[in-house]
Chain A
Amino acid sequence: EVQLVESGGGLIQPGGSLRLSCAASGFTVSSNYMNWVRQAPGKGLEWVSVIYSGDTTFYADSVKGRFTISRDNSKDMVYLQMNSLRAEDTAIYYCARSYRFDPWGQGTLVTVSS
């Protein structure tokens, strides 16, 4: 079964850092492009970042220079390193596979607050 499981969320103070993880099973991350998408409380979906199979990466303007996407092919893991966190980064963060964005993980909640 193809599955994604996110972890690493939590409560963090403004200016802090957090690393999210996305564990893939049923497929290899090396041959897929992998996305992060977030959803602020009560709001819509916002694409955050993508890493292509050739390791090319792209970011939303709102996180560029602060967030870094990476992956470990040997572990079938994808990561999102988040630095200089702001209150407006508070959201559920999901990982999703490929240009079809299928499947999605269950999400991990990041709360940025003092």
Chain B
Amino acid sequence: DIQMTQSPSSLSASVGDRVTITCRASQNIGTYLNWFQQKPGKAPKLLIYAASSLQSGVPSRFSGSGSGTDFTLTISSLQPEDFATYYCQQSYSTPITFGGGTKVEIK
């Protein structure tokens, strides 16, 4: 199974900060990497697919990069509505696996 390791597991940031979350795969997954945002009590929402493609309707302050084993989600200027938990996920092979999540909290 492909293991997905996210870091950090949590972070505190202020509105307007630039935030970076990293995700590492245990083997090469090309660009079969998705990023999701989940707010309390809600279903996850797709932000980025294929490592760097912005899902329709998602603000452009979100961006993704990387390929192979190392990936990054960047929020260029954190907004109040961005405080949530973020998950990476590999869709390269089954079993599909998620990272452990990164909780972004208000500083």
- Nearest A residue (CB) for B1: A61
Among the 9-residue stretches A15-23, A75-83, A97-105, the one with 4 or more Cβ atoms under 8 Å from chain B is A97-105
> Would B101 and A106 count as touching, CB distance under 8 A?
no
Bound: A46/B36 CA distance, A: 13
In the assembled complex, the CB of A107 is this many whole angstroms from the nearest CB of chain B, namely: 6
Q: Check if B94 sits within 8 Å of A45, measured CB to CB.
A: no
Q: Which of B46, B97, B99 interacts with A101 by CB under 8 Å?
A: B46
Q: A107 with B96: in contact, given A44-B101, A102-B49 (CB under 8 Å)?
A: no
At the interface, yes or no: A67 with Cβ under 8 Å from chain B? no
B98 at interface (Cβ–Cβ under 8 A)?
yes
Residue A50 CB within 8 A of the other chain:
yes
- Distance in Å from the Cβ of B104 to the closest Cβ of chain A? 15
Within 8 A of B (CB), among A1-58: 35, 37, 44-47, 50, 58
* CB–CB A47/B87 < 8 A: no
Contact of A35 among B38, B55, B96 (CB under 8 A): B96
B46 pairs with A100, CB closer than 8 A: yes
Residue in A50, A94, A102 whose Cβ sees the most chain B Cβ within 10 Å = A102
Within the complex, what minimum Cβ distance (angstroms) separates A83 from chain B?
20
Would you call A107 and B43 a contact (CB within 8 A)? yes
A residues in contact with B30, CB < 8 Å = none
Kindly list chain A residues whose C-beta atoms are within 8 Å of the C-beta of B96.
Answer: 35, 47, 50
